Structure 1
Amino acid sequence: MDRGEIMPSLGKFQGRERELVCALSHHREILRRETTFLRKEVTSRGLATISRRVDYVKCRSEGIRAPPHIVHGLSQLSGQRMDLRFSDLLEVSLPYLVSNRDEALDFILHDLENMCYRIKSFATILKEFSIAIPLEKIQLFLLMARSFLRISDAISYGRSNQSSYEEHRMGWTSSWGSGIDKCGGFDDITTLSPMLFTHCTPRIFPYGSAVGTVLQIYSFKIVDLKGDLNWPLYVYGVVAARDTVDCNRNLLFCRSRANCQELNEHNPFLCLTGPSRAILADNSVSFEVELKIKYGSKSQDIVLFSSVASYHSSYHTALFPSGVCSAELSLGKLARAVQATILSVCVVEGPWPFKYGARIACSLSAAETNDPLSREVVLLDIHGEEKMPDNDHFHLSRNVVSVELQGTLRVAIQAYTPSCAIAQQSHVNFPAKYCQTSIGECLFGNSKVKIIIAWSLLVKERLDLMLDGYLA
Structure 2
Amino acid sequence: MELPLKTTRSLTWDQLVVKALHVIRCPEFTEYNPKTGLTLPTRFCQHNIAFFDLDKEYFWRFEHSVNVISIKVAESDVGYPIKIYGTVLARDQYDYRCVYLFNRSRDNPQLLKSKKDALTLTGPFRALAVTDSMFFEVHLKIKSDDDAVDQDFSKGQPMAVPIRSCLSTVVIVYSPVPLAVQASLQVKILNGAARASCFNGKLTAWTTGNRNKITLYDSRAAGTQTQLGDGGCVALTRRVVAVPLDEGLVLKACHKAQCSHELVLRHDAERDVEECNLKLGSYELQVKVVWTAVDRQRRRKM
Q: Compute the TM-score of the two structures, normalised by the length of structure 1.
A: 0.51
Equivalents in 1 of 2:147, 2:298: separation in Å?
38
Counting only pairs closer than 5 Å after superposition, residues 294-309 of structure 1 correspond to structure 2 as 294-296=143-145, 300-309=149-158
Whether 2:279 is the aligned partner of 1:404: answer no
The 3 A distance-change label for structure 1 pair 309 and 457 is farther
Change (3 A) 1:447 1:334: same
2:110 matches 1:274: no
Q: Does 1:424 align with 2:264?
A: no
Contact 1:361 1:378 in 2 (8 A): yes
Distance 1:353 1:426 in 2: 20
Counterpart of 1:159, as a letter, is: L
What is the match of residue 159 of structure 1?
Answer: 38
Indicate the residue corresponding to 1:241 in structure 2. Answer: 90
**CA positional deviation for 1:356:** 7.4
In structure 2, the residue matched to 1:439 is 275
Match of 1:213 in 2: 64
Call closer, same or farther: CA 1:276–1:298 in 2, change over 3 Å: farther
Distance 1:341 1:155, change over 3 A: same
More divergent stretch after superposition (375-384 vs 295-304)? 295-304
Moved over 3 A (4+): 296-299, 350-356, 458-465
Task: Call closer, same or farther: CA 1:451–1:290 in 2, change over 3 Å.
Answer: same
C-alpha distance in 2, partners of 1:306/1:330? 17
Structure 1: runs of 5 or more not aligned? 1-153, 179-183, 195-209, 312-317, 417-421, 466-472
Conservation of the 8 A alpha-carbon contact between 2:35 and 2:165: no
Match of 2:29 in 1: none
Residue by residue, what CA displacement relative to the aligned partner does 1:243-274 show, whole Å, maximum 9, x if unpaired? 11111111111111111111111642100011
AA partner of residue 424 (structure 1): C
The residue identity in structure 2 corresponding to 1:389 is: Q
Structure 1, residues 407-463: CA drift from partner, whole Å, max 9, x if none? 1111111113xxxxx141112210124561111211223542110011002455756
1:183-332 to 2 correspondence within 5 Å? Answer: 184-192=52-60, 212-226=63-77, 229-265=78-114, 267-296=116-145, 300-310=149-159, 318-332=161-175
The one-letter amino acid of 1:431's match is: R
Find the counterpart in structure 2 of residue 379 from structure 1: 216
Query: Matches of 2:105 and 2:153 in 1, distance apart?
Result: 15
User: Helix, strand or coil: the match of 2:38?
Assistant: coil
Q: Which amino acid aligns with 1:376?
A: K
Q: Is the partner of 1:231 in helix, strand or coil?
A: coil
Q: Is the 8 A contact 2:72 2:115 kept in 1?
A: no
Stretches of structure 2 that go unaligned for 5 or more consecutive residues are 1-32
Counterpart Cα distance in 1 of 2:219 and 2:147: 29
SS class of match (2:84)? strand
Structure with more of its chain in helix, by fraction: 1
CA displacement 1:252-299 (0-9 Å, x = unmatched): 111111111111116421000111211122121111101101013676
Tell me: CA distance 1:156–1:424, structure 2 relative to 1, closer, same or farther (3 Å). Answer: same
Matched residue type, 1:324 = L
What amino acid maps onto 2:58 in structure 1? T
Deviations 1:159-211 (A, max 9, x none): 14xxx124x44x35x61453xxxxx411112234x6xxxxxxxxxxxxxxx6x
Q: Is the 8 A contact 2:80 2:112 kept in 1?
A: yes
Q: How many pairs are equivalent?
A: 263
Q: Is the 8 A contact 1:353 1:444 kept in 2?
A: no
SS at match of 1:280: coil
Superposed CA offset, 1:76-128 (max 9, x none): xxxxxxxxxxxxxxxxxxxxxxxxxxxxxxxxxxxxxxxxxxxxxxxxxxxxx
Please state how far the C-alpha of 1:378 moved relative to its aligned partner.
0.4
- In the alignment, residue 73 of structure 2 is paired with which amino acid? I
Q: Give the alignment's TM-score, normalised by structure 2.
A: 0.77
- The structure with higher relative contact order (CA 8 Å, sep 6+) is 2
Who wins on radius of gyration, i.e. which is larger? 1
| Closer, same or farther: CA 458–262 of 1 in aligned 2, 3 Å | farther
Give the whole-Å Cα distance in 2 for the aligned partners of 1:340 and 1:353.
Answer: 27
**Secondary structure class of the residue paired with 2:111:** strand
Q: Is the 8 A contact 1:405 1:433 kept in 2?
A: no
Deviates more, 1:393-402 or 1:289-298: 289-298
What code does the residue aligned with 2:272 have? Q
SS at match of 1:326: strand
Report the counterpart of residue 198 of structure 1 in structure 2: none
Does the CA-based 8 Å contact 1:223-1:268 persist in structure 2? no
Mapped to 2, the partners of 1:459 and 1:247 lie a distance apart of: 18
RMSD: 2.9
Distance 1:337 1:440 in 2: 22
**1:24-73 residue CA offsets vs partner (Å, 9 max, x unmatched):** xxxxxxxxxxxxxxxxxxxxxxxxxxxxxxxxxxxxxxxxxxxxxxxxxx
